[in-house]
Amino acid sequence: MQAFLAVLVGGLLTIAGGLVAVLATSRSVKSQWRNDTQLKVSTEVLNALQKVVSRINDLAYLPDKEGDDANNAWSALVASVVEWHNVRHAALLVGSPRIVDLLQEIDEQSESLTGRARTKQWTLIEFRRERDSLSRLAADFLDAVRAETGWPPLHLKSLTWIDMRNTDWPAVDAARRIGNPPPPEP
């Protein structure tokens, strides 16, 4: 009888231990999946945002805000905004309330920046100042994602948007190479 009880108790403990292991593994796998998904979607968010900023730059540097060049720049901006919204929606599905708030702020800032880009022809330095708040929000987003996935924040002041198509870029690049960089950002 004792042997039977010992086998029964041993079997129950084995089953219980297996269930605990399955539950613990399931939570760990689910957590890892969420972190991996968050990182993948967040990378796509930052890539799409870079495209939006690049297209806003194209519009901002145009001397004439009417005509074919402006229409082409606007069409390219609209296409990049559609991509931005698609990846933003994916990030809203897996993001925490902090991530969702930052995405909303980034979206509002990019819309505001688009409006300002349409008001006049901007220089590289002028428009860089205009988009500073968006760059700071993007850095905050990056830190929030890192914190959520268990990585330490980088504490960047902002993310830098580079646009090689800007007509000011060759002059800025040449000035840097000869030791005469443009004025520092405020």
Q: What is the pLDDT of residues 38-92, one digit of tens each?
A: 889 999 999 999 999 999 988 998 888 888 988 999 999 999 999 999 999 999 9
AA letter at 15: I
d(CA 13, CA 19): 10
Report domain extents, the chain. 2-177
Instruction: Note if the pTM is more than 0.75.
Output: no
For every residue of the chain, DSSP letters joined together read -HHHHHHHHHHHHHHHHHHHHHHHHHHHHHHHHHHHHHHHHHHHHHHHHHHHHHHHHHHHT-S-SSSHHHHHHHHHHHHHHHHHHHHHHHHHHH--HHHHHHHHHHHHHHHHHHHHHTTS---HHHHHHHTHHHHHHHHHHHHHHHHHTTPPP---S-PPP--TT-TTHHHHHHHHHTT-PPPPP-
Q: What is the pLDDT of residues 94-148, one digit of tens each?
A: 899 999 999 999 999 999 999 999 988 888 888 888 889 999 999 999 999 999 9
